[in-house]
Structure 1
């Protein structure tokens, strides 16, 4: 049975006759509306969250590694400073070793001990500030560690000047003193690192 939508009735205006026509109805298939794929959006957001999480973890790991690296560097610097402070030799010890070394040589025989007044009666009348190598070592032990290097240099210079003043530049004692001076300057340059003391050494013993 046809529905009204399939029947069309036409009436002639002159005769009044009418005719009925049947039209087939073509049913069009219904198109389903595409559903939005919210799943892909959710997966994208999940991936973004995972990427953000990985980036945050990476940055945290970098910060932790940087902090640990800084701590290790600080520990290494502290250990280096401690080792340096432990290995650093006191100035008084350096000076004592220099004087003791030149005392072992034969040319220091005239300079080790104080001049015997019985052997040289007028020595203390000529020399106002007598000094010997043993006196210099005693002064090193009693002096301030910061000033001991310059004091040692000045004392050795005084010892050589006394020998020149009393014995003369052409005497055997003065020549032995010159040999001792050369050894003393050599050992000071080897053991003392300060440029200030090197300049002071040059001024005192250049002649």
Structure 2
């Protein structure tokens, strides 16, 4: 006798069997009088379901909140939670939009044919026992898979990994005098401006 319908039925049985008033039967059962006297309002659930399905077919990108507003404007007095329940029962749940990617022709990556043709750089991070971060800056020659630089530190600022001073030589494209001097510069203040 947990749900209100069962308690309502028990209150009615007490009234007919023992001739007690409805108020007294509710007090004995621990049931509120308003709960006992409540009559459920008949709702046109099928009509709401049909109209909800029609609206969802017309507007497939609308969620249940927009559809609830439309039903409300059309005169259906219905709670948004009930609309959501019917929306789920009908299987009208919106698909989440996937992120659009730029479409391009995928080409296989060309493998380098000699030393210093292409370098790859990467940062790796790990945590020490005392909760400090240990970071490493790695530069690898893609042809020989030789590690040209491994710089471990707790902090790696841009000025540190921006210069190639600690690397094993320079690629052939950086042989000109101006590029060489810019590469070996101690700070990024000497970087030439791209705007002229």
TM-score when scaled to structure 2? 0.21
Higher relative contact order, structure no. (Cα contacts within 8 Å, ≥ 6 residues apart):
1
More helix by share: 1
More strand by share: 2
Kindly name which structure, 1 or 2, has the bigger radius of gyration based on alpha carbons.
1
